[in-house]
Amino acid sequence: MNENLYSLFESRFPADRGRPLLLLEDGRAVTYGEAEARCAQYAGLLAGLGLAPGDRVAVQVEKSPEALLLYLACLRAGLVYLPLNSAYQEGEVGYFLENAEPGAVVAQPRSMPWLAPLAARLGIRHLFTLDERGEGSLVDAARGGPVRFTTVGRAGGDLAAILYTSGTTGRSKGAMITHRNLASNATVLHAYWGFRPDDVLVHMLPLFHVHGLFVACHCVLMNGTAMRFHAKFDAGRALEDFRRSSVFMGVPTFYTRLLAEPGLTREACAAMRLFVSGSAPLLAETHADFAARTGHRILERYGMTETGMLTSNPLAGERRPGTVGFPLPGTSVRVVDDEGRACTAGDIGHIQVKGDNVLPGYWRMPERNKEEFTPDGFFRTGDVGFFSADGYLSIVGRSKDLIITGGYNVYPKEVELAIDELPGVAESAVVGVPHPDFGEAVTAVVVARPGAPAPTEAGVIAALKSRLANFKVPKRVFVVKELPRNTMGKVQKNVLRERYSAPGD
């Protein structure tokens, strides 16, 4: 049996290959038949270069239909797909290429002045361009090639992709993702979220990230249906699409921007059946506001680059704000204390996971792999959280974000929730910064709510003193216009720590 992920997708393609896979902004469509043919041409081109199964192909391009087809071509040819954030610069890309040693690189034309010398220095012989219009030397080289390609046989444990983690605490690690990892997660999500034969998904996420590439695209490919494919998020276009679509996946920022649109109404969302949020925590207030405006309760889930999706609020049942739901079928999730003992309901501890969706390890980091897994095979996520008595998981934060002040542990999420309830506060982020006396000082960065009186440092501290133990109350509060975020909407706490650790703060 061929366990190549592409073979699984192909078994789910519609019998009528004339049905659309991608519905584009300009009104054109890419059918399943066209996708198969173009994907075959790219796979044939790469294989014809002498690339062998297991060789890496690094891809740093803007979103386009061809970018998605290139990913499928790499799967089909048994190659290992290495997506890179299109915002990465020369120094970052240089590290990834040196570490992964790809056999070929596909990149944006604007990167060529520095990428070509870099590739030459690293001995990478095959370099192609692909722009946001889906044009470039890759497309030119594949044009006219055979439109049939026999999918290369792969075992479930063979690598399908390497995704580099964000590296906020040091050099990025290459998460090795297998065909089995991706197939198991795609199969579970497709069933758990109840995909239907007539579903149409609105796709506005980037393709270099787990959310857009593995979660959204894989669900559609498993369903054999269509997605409305946009280069980037646009609230106005999203509202138009909602009237003729059924599923939307986004990061919390997408939902806050949608809520700023007067056109977001129950009528505008009447055709929709499911809104999913992930990649960063969704504020309970956003959840409530969206439900009030649209009648839809956003389904929040939890996953990681290394594991795919781990938990999800239920499709049928209570979608509880502030939680990420239950462990998905086939995934074991546990919360343990510092000694590895199981925590009781409500007690905060370290989240660990096990299942076919969990990576085998990091690329060329055997020592790190020993640290990341427990003796009984659970992966240490680095997240801390707790289970409720009825089984809902809540994420408190990253273990590296834990603040130890005067010997006491402070979980930032607890302080953030208290701050977010105060008048005039839109959102907040809490970090620990070096302190000569306490070791770390709890520091809050607060975004004021538009149109309301701005909170003050003294006011926030005074209000919290009646709600939290004194050691949890921030020593300093900074009011800002917005929080720094990465491309997936996650607050960059490392940036805040650096910014507010400066002398004089």
Output the pLDDT for position 281. Answer: 82
- Asked whether the beta carbons of 281 and 289 are under 8 A apart, the reply is no
Q: How many angstroms separate the CA atoms of 386 and 394, rounded?
A: 5
CA 172 to chain centroid, in Å, comes to 16
Output the pLDDT for position 446. Answer: 97
Strands (E), 308-370: 308-312, 326-327, 331-336, 349-355, 361-362
- Asked whether the beta carbons of 239 and 250 are under 8 A apart, the reply is no
- How many CB atoms are located within 10 Å of the residue 342 CB? 11
Output the pLDDT for position 104. Answer: 98
What is the pLDDT tens value at each position of the chain, 505 positions in all?
Answer: 999 999 999 999 999 999 999 999 999 999 999 999 999 999 999 999 999 999 999 999 999 999 999 999 999 999 999 999 888 888 889 999 999 999 999 999 999 999 999 999 999 999 999 999 999 999 999 999 999 999 999 999 999 999 998 644 456 899 999 999 999 999 999 999 999 999 999 999 999 989 999 999 999 999 999 999 999 999 999 999 999 999 999 988 899 999 999 999 999 999 999 999 998 788 888 999 999 999 999 999 999 999 999 999 999 999 999 999 999 999 999 999 999 999 999 999 999 999 999 999 999 998 888 899 999 999 999 999 999 999 999 998 887 788 888 777 788 888 998 999 999 999 999 999 988 777 889 999 999 999 889 999 999 999 999 888 888 999 999 999 999 998 778 899 989 999 998 654 4
Record the pTM: 0.86
Q: Is 398 helix (H, G, I), strand (E, B) or coil?
A: strand
Beta bridge partners of 352: 334, 380
- Asked whether the beta carbons of 151 and 184 are under 8 A apart, the reply is no
CA 501 to chain centroid, in Å, comes to 29
Please give the domain boundaries of the chain with CATH numbers for all domains: 5-177 (3.40.50.12780), 233-398 (3.40.50.12780), 402-500 (3.30.300.30)
Output the pLDDT for position 504. Answer: 47
Residue 8 CA neighbour count, 13 Å, CB half: 23
**Helices marked H in 226-295:** 235-242, 252-259, 284-294
Which pair of tokens denotes residue 355?
A: 């299942």
Backbone angles phi, psi at 170, to 5 degrees: 145, -165
Strands (E), 75-117: 80-83, 104-107
- How many CB atoms are located within 10 Å of the residue 333 CB? 23
Which pair of tokens denotes residue 480?
A: 């800002």
Q: How many angstroms separate the CA atoms of 66 and 200, rounded?
A: 20
Output the pLDDT for position 170. Answer: 53
H or E stretch at 301: strand 299-304
Output the pLDDT for position 87. Answer: 82
